[in-house]
Amino acid sequence: MEQKKLYLPFALIFAGALIGAVFSAVLIYEHNGAKTQIGSTVCDASEASSCEKAKDSAMGKIFGLPLALYGFVFYGGIIALAALLALALNDTALRLLWWGSLAALIFDLFLLLYSVFILGSICRLCAITYFASAIITAGAFLLNRNGEKMIKPEILPVKAKAVFGALFVLTVVTGFLFNNNAIDSQVAVSNDASERERRLREDLHNEFYKQWKAGEKLNLDTPRSGNKGSTSPVLTIMEFADPLCPHCKDMGLVLGEFVKKHPDKVRVIFRHYPLDIQCNDAMKRAFHVGACDLARAIECGEAQGKFWQMHDAVFSQQEQFMRNPVTEKAIENLAQGAGLSAPAVAQCFRSQATLAKVKADIASGNRIKITGTPTTIVNDRRLPGSPLEYVPGILEKILLEESKR
């Protein structure tokens, strides 16, 4: 009759430990970034119940291992301890089960409060393991109360010890296998995603190359100013740009890095195309006021052999010039900061020859019907419009193909 009193406690302990172990295993995968069907169903039901915050929190990992791995080992240890007690009651094991389960429940209560007040949301998968700990604690309490007065063997049987040891070792090994498999799965998914992205980029580069190759020759002249890179290039890249165009600034940085990477194969040429009605007849209304003056200032750098220093100085102050009027004093200060002779720049700035050079570039741009900046010309063919992040890869593809000729 006394043994029947232990059926319910054991049922609660084993049920709670199994639930805790199963959902801890799921959490091991989720907290390593490897999505599972159970995790997606439970955690992603709403933003407030997502496991992401719990995973990324300070309590998500301890000593570099997911907290869920410790939980899995705990629940496996409870199963092993309960199996030992099912084979042979023991006072030490009973107390260990009771106090261990109570300590785990208190820790889970701390995690619950941490989630509510610190993270502002509850991880539902974690909450299931808290419920499992409560079930185990209830079973351990009943088992301790009913079993402490029962007759117990003085020495634990070898069989009970062996079962406990085997189950506990199996739990630890299985937990680390789950953890390593979750990491490997995430790496495999990441590698697969990277490979798909690589192939997509390669296809896009090939498509943009075909579009570029099919483009008509523009028969543009090659100005002597604003050049850098190879004197016998495989690729000659012209950028028609406006000093007040943020996208032109970004494109200039990309082209600058590209010519640094291929100094013996690539030449970059800067062409003026300010979107300013002051010097651009194609403009029908005021837009980038002051861009013409900045274009003249850049061109004045060429007279002192410092075209690119002045170019970089102007573009580095682009935001300031977009907010404030472009004055001769501001240009002189900019020139001095870039290491140029400010008086010489001031004299050059007022020269009609400087304005004529800017207008010559604008005329070339209007002849090829530029509709916006930056417009990039590669080997006398217009580069198809594409997101800036793809431009280096497209240029690499064109360089590769043109190098074969």
Contact 60, 67 (CB under 8 A): yes
**CA trace torsion 23, 29, 34, 37 (10° rounding):** -20
pLDDT at 140 (0 to 100):
93
pLDDT at 191 (0 to 100):
64
Mean pLDDT by 10 residues, the chain (405 residues): 77 94 89 74 57 78 89 94 90 92 94 87 87 94 83 79 93 90 72 74 89 92 85 94 95 96 96 95 91 94 92 94 90 91 92 94 94 94 90 94 86
Calpha distance 318→323 (Å, rounded): 9
Q: Which domains does the chain have, with CATH numbers?
A: 2-194 (1.20.1440.130), 227-403 (3.40.30.10)
The residue assigned the tokens 């429940």 is 105
pLDDT at 151 (0 to 100):
62
Tally of helices (H runs) and strands (E runs) in the chain: 15, 7
C-alpha triplet 357, 362, 363: angle, nearest 5° = 95
pLDDT at 307 (0 to 100):
94
pTM of the model: 0.58
Contact 366, 180 (CB under 8 A): no
pLDDT at 90 (0 to 100):
87
pLDDT at 139 (0 to 100):
94
Q: Give alpha helix (H) positions in 350-390.
A: 352-367
pLDDT at 1 (0 to 100):
46
Task: Give CA separation, 378 vs 35, 61, 217, 258, 272, in Å.
Answer: 45, 52, 10, 13, 16
Strand (E) or helix (H) holding 61: strand 61-62
pLDDT at 355 (0 to 100):
94
Strand (E) or helix (H) holding 376: strand 375-378
